[in-house]
Structure 1
Amino acid sequence: MNITLQTYRPALTRFQSLIALFVLCLALSILSDKFLTVANFWNVLRQISVNVCISTGMTLVVLTAGIDLSVGSVLALAGAITAGLLRNGIPLPSANLFIGFTLLGAIVVGILTGSVLGWFNGWAITRFNLPPFVATLAMLTIARGLTMLWTEGFPITGLGESFTYLGTGWLLGIPVPVWVSALIVALAVLLTNKTRIGRYIYAIGGSESAARLSGVNITRTKLMVYTLSGALAAVGGLLVTSRLDSAQPNAGISYELDSIAAVVIGGASLSGGRGSILGTVQGAIIIGVLNNGLVLLNVSPFWQQVVKGFVILLAVIIDKSNAKNEA
């Protein structure tokens, strides 16, 4: 029997994320006695919850052959606006009026902020036929500037126990952020696998011209996808802000890189049309475990950036190699 690497290539390609995660966990468990502990397990899950939220939205965008570089800045702005409204409300001295916000009201406004910015990304891309890279890069700068203007460069703190529960609380023995990210993943899996919109998303990524000829409303689908990406970035911003009990003006910097890395490592193609939400979750876990392991090993933060950069590069190389073999 002639057994070669080609025989196992389909299985290796399908399970490459799980294999990489197993090897990474095995190496870290050998190098650090603090890695395989219950406390560290929950710590990793809590940390990756933010990236899972952002990466779920990023996956929807990438499936349409797009990209969203603004998620980190949108995260920061949504968190800052939520914290500002919750802490200070909106004073209107000229009208002798003060508008206060409940916890739910501030959260809704924060998510709406992310949704509007995401919608604007989609509108700019579809209305002016801009490359997604350019449109979302511009939004990255715009949202970061708006965050600085809103916070005046200072953190907003003292947000109350009710709000911090969202990022630090436990429910049925599981951290609340894990519940939030799990719910988002479940809804996204349902959207992509069981709905017409999900089929449209894959069709656009596979061939936009063919999807248009098939009657798919390209503009409406892309607007929805980018709006969801912004909304989920805002949810990530709420989790970060509540966990720190502080809205930091520089929050979310480089989060877009972790998000793209999770999507690509999870098996999605940057050319669109191929990938899955569950694959992205695996990618987010790998990134989270890698970050956690580097911290436990006392690796310099500067070297951590270098390592993650090489991981992203390797993932893209593997993606291109798989695409060539499939062709």
Structure 2
Amino acid sequence: MSTTTARPTAENGAPHRPTKNRASLLASIGGQNLSLIGALVLVLALFGILNDNFLSITNMQVIAEAATITGLLAVVQTVVIICGGLDISVGSQVGIASVVSAMAFTSAGSNALAGIAAAIGIGIAVGILNGVIIVYGRVNPTIATLAGLAAYKGIAQLVSNGRAQGYVLNNDLFVFLGRGKIAGLPVMVWLLIVVATTVHLLLKYTDIGRNIYAIGGNDTAARLAGININKYLVSVYALIGIVAALAGILLTARTGSGQPTSGSEGLELKAITAAALGGCALKGGKGGIGGTLLAVALLGCLENGLTVEGINSFWQNVAQGALLVAAVVIQQRRSGERAIGLPA
């Protein structure tokens, strides 16, 4: 007497594991991230076909190094956007930290630690100042940090007379930060990995991260739940100041001197664009570090590819602006919110 063994199917009640596992994997990656991965692969393939050297290891390292500063700022921009805020002044914060690091280094007799400590100190002060103005001055974050964009840029130009300051490449620590490698990867990239991983773990696995999402999602409910919103906002802006200072130190190490504006202008647009492309809802409460890093990689490859192909650098600004608008439009469509001035 023969017997037949029924195969596990949806009809006889047994789960179809491959489909379930595949769906679980796709859900964990996220539709937004899958779109970014697809776009990144497309950009890599396109410029790889146009230029044989584009996909070389050397050029990939160039892209990674160039994207590090943007990546650092995009990571903390993600945090503040999730929290329901925004920081348009991050580029100017990088500039002032870069100048201070080089000037303190020179004044302290070529002491790299003095330069780094001074930059971190000014970063914390600027970040707390932004937070205090927003929280206790009750100023809209966009307006407050837009004012900071102009003010911090002006301060950097005043203290430096609008010129590059100092020379740091005679110091081993600055050379290591700007040009050193660990296990084949630039030190700058390792620093981005450490910061991004730390922030990701903070957001995903701690009460602090859950509270940040709660504040951005519904600040009234968060306040009623006992979350000290003021403390969180000031702390988040202080974190931005610290990471912007680190970016300023890396800018100094990479260029060899303190840069008041060169290398830092436009960083705020890149950081916000990366965060928005990565899935951050500009109204707060949604976003993640993984998507932001994918967007940073996409922007870095696009910028490098356009440069390698000799395309006018002005088009890079056009591309960034277009990508930011596209990201916001996609968010609005997905949320189902009515556009201003248009019927529902």
TM-score by structure 2 length?
0.86
- Cα distance in structure 1, aligned partners of 2:57 and 2:203: 33
- Cα distance in structure 1, aligned partners of 2:33 and 2:286: 12
Give 1:101 deviation, angstroms.
Answer: 6.6
Match in the other structure for 2:44:
25
Matched to 1:316, the amino acid is: V
Higher mean C-alpha deviation, range 78-87 or range 109-118: 109-118
- Cα distance in structure 1, aligned partners of 2:297 and 2:280: 15
User: Pick from 56, 61, 65: which aligns with 1:46?
Assistant: 65
For 1:59-95, what per-residue CA distance to the aligned partner results, in whole angstroms no more than 9, with x for missing partners?
Answer: 1110011110000000000010010010134xxxxxx
User: Pick from 314, 319, 322: which aligns with 1:307?
Assistant: 319
Give 1:102 deviation, angstroms.
Answer: 2.5
Q: Please list every run of 5 or more consecutive structure 1 residues that lacks an aligned counterpart in the other structure.
A: 1-6, 90-99
- Cα distance in structure 2, aligned partners of 1:14 and 1:286: 11
Higher mean C-alpha deviation, range 154-163 or range 9-18: 9-18
Q: Does 1:146 align with 2:155?
A: yes
For 1:241-261, what per-residue CA distance to the aligned partner results, in whole angstroms no more than 9, with x for missing partners?
Answer: 100001122131110000001
Superposition pairs for residues 1-327 of structure 1, below 5 Å? 12-89=31-108, 100=109, 102-159=111-168, 160-162=170-172, 163-251=174-262, 252-324=264-336
- Cα distance in structure 2, aligned partners of 1:275 and 1:146: 33
For 1:195-238, what per-residue CA distance to the aligned partner results, in whole angstroms no more than 9, with x for missing partners?
Answer: 11111110011011110011110000001111101111111111
Q: More helix per residue: 1 or 2? A: 1
Residue 298 of structure 1 aligns to a residue whose secondary structure is coil
Give 1:172 deviation, angstroms.
Answer: 2.2
**Aligned partners of 2:128 and 2:237 also within 8 Å:** yes
TM-score by structure 1 length?
0.90
How many equivalent pairs are there? 308
Give 1:14 deviation, angstroms.
Answer: 4.8
Matched to 1:256, the amino acid is: E
**Aligned partners of 1:268 and 1:275 also within 8 Å:** yes
- Cα distance in structure 2, aligned partners of 1:273 and 1:294: 34
**Aligned partners of 1:57 and 1:230 also within 8 Å:** no
Q: Rate the CA distance shift 1:61–1:265 in 2: closer, same or farther, 3 A.
A: same
Matched to 2:94, the amino acid is: L
Residue 156 of structure 1 aligns to a residue whose secondary structure is coil
- Cα distance in structure 2, aligned partners of 1:218 and 1:254: 30
Q: Rate the CA distance shift 1:105–1:37 in 2: closer, same or farther, 3 A.
A: same
Q: Rate the CA distance shift 1:228–1:15 in 2: closer, same or farther, 3 A.
A: same
Percent identity between matched residues is 33
**Aligned partners of 2:110 and 2:171 also within 8 Å:** no
- Cα distance in structure 1, aligned partners of 2:291 and 2:31: 14
**Aligned partners of 1:17 and 1:267 also within 8 Å:** no
Which has the greater radius of gyration?
Answer: 2
Give 1:129 deviation, angstroms.
Answer: 1.3
Matched to 1:244, the amino acid is: T
Q: Please list every run of 5 or more consecutive structure 2 residues that lacks an aligned counterpart in the other structure.
A: 1-22, 338-344
**Aligned partners of 1:34 and 1:296 also within 8 Å:** no
Give 1:295 deviation, angstroms.
Answer: 0.4
